[in-house]
Amino acid sequence: MCIQESCGKMFPVIKCKAAVAWERGKPLCIEDVDVAPPKVHEVRIKIIATGVCHTDWEYLYETEKGMKFRPFPLVLGHEAAGVVESVGPEVTKFSPGDKVIPLFLPQCGECKRCQCPKTNHCRKNWENTQMGVLADGTSRISCKRQQVFQFLGVSSFSEYTVVPDTSLAKIRSDAPLDKVCLLGCGVSTGYGAAVNTAKVEKDSLCAVFGLGAVGLAAVMGCQVAGAKRIIGVDINPDKFEKAKAFGATECVNPRDHSKSIQEVLVAMTDGGVDYALECVGSPDVMSAALESTADAWGTCVIAGWTETEEMKVKVLKILMGRTLKGTYFGGEPKMSLPLDQINVAFGLLKSGKSIRTVINL
C-alpha cells in the first residue's frame, strides 16, 4: 500500500514489529503494526536501538499515580537512535540515511523559547505529542486497523516510527547508535542537570540521589565540572561500584542509617552539600535532597520525573538562602536485548539489576 504525498512522491506503508501497550498494568505485546508515511514536516526513521527508561515503565504500571493519563493503546519508548528512512514534504534538514536521535522535547529554532538562551522548553506541537499524536491530531502507527498512540510523540519501541522534523537531531555518521541512543533522555538529563542547571563549580561538594542512568550521568557531570566530593545516594548497593567508576567519591545507602539521609549528609559534609541532584522522581527524595544542601548557598536540582505528585518544602529552607530548581531533558548501557525481550527489560529496570537496558531493533 502506498500513499501519495503533496510533493508527488509515493511512500509505502511499512509493516514491522512493535511492542504495543494495549492497556495499563499489562505486559507489552509484540505485534505487527503499520507505520504510515511521513506527512508535511515529518520524518520516518528506522529505530536501531532504544533505551528502556523508568518513565516508560511508570506510565505502563503507575499511570495516574505519578503520571498524567494518556490514551491506550500506545507504543512506549522515547530514548532512541536510528536512521532516516524517508522524509515528508517541506523537510529540508534531513535526508534518507542520516543517523538521528528522536527528541521528546522539540526544538523548532524559531519560537520565543528557542531564541532564549535561558531554556530549551520549545512548545512546538507540545500539546499534541504529549497526548500521543502528531501535528494533525493523529498517530502514524496502527495495529489491527486501530490507531496506536505514540508516547511523547516518539514511540521508539517500534522498528519504525514517524516524528516531526522539529523533534529530531542529526548526529555524526560514525556514531555508535547503541550508545548514543542514551543521549535521547538519560544522559542529557543527568549531565545537563549538573552542568547546565546546577552549574556545579570546581571543588564543590555534591550529592546525587538515585544512581540509575540519569544519576550516573549527573555524577559524570559533577566530575567534569571539577567537584571535590561526589556522594552517590541509593538504596541499591549493587549500583555503588558503577557510580564510583563514573566519578562518585563515596556512596551512601539510606537504609544503613537510623537518621534521615539529609541528616546523614549534613553531618558528613559539616553543614550540607553545595549541590544536590535528585534523579529519582520521588517527592520524598526531592525534599530530602533540598534539606541536604547547605543553607545560604546550597542548590537542589530536580531531574527525576513525576507529573502529578506534590513536593513538600519547608519555607524556612528556602528563606535561609537555598535554591530549588528543576530541569527537563537537561551511561553506558548495562546490556542489550532484542525487541521481544522488552518485558524482561522492564523487570530488570524495576528490580534494579540494570542501570539502563538497550533494546536492539
Identify whether residues 162 and 47 lie together within a single domain: yes
Identify whether residues 157 and 195 lie together within a single domain: no
Residue-level pLDDT at 118: 81
Range ranked top by mean pLDDT from 59-68, 79-88, 122-131: 79-88
Domain-embedded: residue 353:
no
Identify whether residues 34 and 179 lie together within a single domain: yes
Joined together, the cell numbers standing for residue 186 give: 538519560
Domain-embedded: residue 345:
no
Model confidence band, residue 329 (pLDDT cutoffs 50, 70, 90): confident
- What mean pLDDT comes out for the span 261-271? 98
Joined together, the cell numbers standing for residue 222 give: 559533577
CA separation for the pair 78, 82 (Å, rounded): 12
- What mean pLDDT comes out for the span 294-300? 97
**134, 152, 183: which is the final residue of a domain?**
183
Identity at 123, one-letter amino acid code: R
Identify whether residues 176 and 193 lie together within a single domain: no
Angle formed by the axes of helices 261-268 and 283-291, to 10°? 20
What CATH code is carried by the domain that includes residue 81? 3.90.180.10
Residue-level pLDDT at 332: 30
CA separation for the pair 80, 90 (Å, rounded): 24
Identify whether residues 89 and 177 lie together within a single domain: yes
CA separation for the pair 231, 241 (Å, rounded): 13
Say whether pLDDT at 192 is over 70. yes
Q: Is the peptide bond before 333 cis (omega within 30 degrees of 0)?
A: no
What CATH code is carried by the domain that includes residue 309? 3.40.50.720
Domain-embedded: residue 339:
no
Domain-embedded: residue 350:
no
In angstroms and rounded to an integer, the radius of gyration of the C-alpha atoms of the chain is 21
Say whether pLDDT at 173 is over 80. yes
**Domain span including residue 29:** 14-183
Domain-embedded: residue 216:
yes
More confident residue, 244 or 3: 244
Q: pTM for this one?
A: 0.86
Identify whether residues 100 and 193 lie together within a single domain: no
Taking only the tens place, the pLDDT of each residue in 88-128 is 999 999 999 999 999 998 888 898 988 888 887 888 888 99
Identify whether residues 167 and 242 lie together within a single domain: no
| Residues whose CB is less than 8 angstroms from the CB of residue 162 and which lie 6 or more positions away in sequence, other chains included | 35, 36, 37, 38, 39, 42, 43, 44, 45, 134, 140, 141, 150
Domain-embedded: residue 346:
no
Identify whether residues 130 and 209 lie together within a single domain: no
Model confidence band, residue 333 (pLDDT cutoffs 50, 70, 90): very low
Q: Report which secondary-structure segment, H or E, holds 45.
A: strand 42-51
At residue 67's C-alpha, the angle toward residues 299 and 18, to 5°, is 120
Identify whether residues 314 and 226 lie together within a single domain: yes
Residue-level pLDDT at 335: 35
Domain-embedded: residue 336:
no
At residue 195's C-alpha, the angle toward residues 318 and 81, to 5°, is 125
Domain-embedded: residue 213:
yes
Model confidence band, residue 321 (pLDDT cutoffs 50, 70, 90): very high
CA separation for the pair 175, 11 (Å, rounded): 27
Model confidence band, residue 336 (pLDDT cutoffs 50, 70, 90): very low
At residue 140's C-alpha, the angle toward residues 138 and 146, to 5°, is 75
Phi and psi angles of residue 125, each rounded to the nearest 5 degrees, phi first? 60, 15
Q: What percent of the chain has pLDDT over 90?
A: 69
Taking only the tens place, the pLDDT of each residue in 138-165 is 999 999 999 999 999 999 999 999 999 9
Count of structural domains within the chain:
2
Identify whether residues 259 and 155 lie together within a single domain: no
